[in-house]
Structure 1
Amino acid sequence: MKYFADNLKFLRRQNNFSQEQLAKHLGLNRGNIASYEKMTAEPKIENLLKICKFFNVEVSEFLEKDLQNIAIIQEEMEKVNSESNPTNLGEGEATEHFIEELEDNKKRLERFIGQSDDMQKILEGFRQFHKFKMSNNPIITEDVKKMSDEYEKLLELMDALLSSNKELIHWLKDS
């Protein structure tokens, strides 16, 4: 139900329905629609199916995808396609050009994934080297201890950046 409320509100507004109008079309009352959109209630399965059928959206998409974001991306793609398709390009040529762009973007994503994996390995190497040096140093002064603490903070920051990087990769793969 991750995106249900936002998707319901988005589709209702996109189709210029008030909560009352949508409820009437679905055989529900306005309060049902309002509570679904506010996430104070979840629809019964039969109501969920009615809503999905009414908007012609698969249940899995309704629940697991941000339909507003998908609509924005589709609009942008249409705009790019119309701007990048001079009148002398036929529909087949425009499609071929778009497919080439998608393939280029896929290659960029694969390089990005490879770089991310390499950064993860390098970070792990730094971490292991630091542990080795600290465990094999018989005398750890206060200055060395402070530097070690700062180095560990830097490693934690790198972990956080790599985690964000992996989330971005996951999002790009799902797009």
Structure 2
Amino acid sequence: MKNYISNNLSFLVNKMNCSRDEFGAMFGLNRGNISFYINEKSQPKIETIQSICDYFKISIDDFINNDLSNKNTSLNTSKTTNTVDSEIITKEIQLRDDLIVAYKDKIELLTKQNEEILVRLENKVDLATSKIDESAILNQNIFKELEEQLEYINLKENLEKAKKMVSNPTKKS
């Protein structure tokens, strides 16, 4: 009984629009293996046939016993592209997630730093306010002392005038 393995492999290589090396690499085979199968010098192992059929979503029976080039079957020839696209999307999603985590960490760090800066500024304002309050109290005390000194000087002057008046009753100041 004739099998169509070589015809179907040749058809799939052409359908995929790739070289025998590229096709073989998809299934862990080299160019020589694929050439031997296409030229009917050897037959692939059942595991290889299963892998190819699984990849293209075709039955093993169809792959071995039917000429796929004559069938109107839709083969999954875009799986490689879909797999690559899926891997790229997965990597991009992971990168996005990593960036989100990094930005969240940066925001938390900046928030913490800003809170620390605000606390330091509040402490400086409190210190400055307390120094202003201390300065105001000090100024009040100085003014009070000056006032007392001025009163003392006034009293002293008045005392001097009174002494002069007592010692010279006829003179008026």
Q: Shorter-chain TM-score: what band?
A: 0.3 to 0.5
Structure index of larger Rg: 2
TM-score (norm 2): 0.40
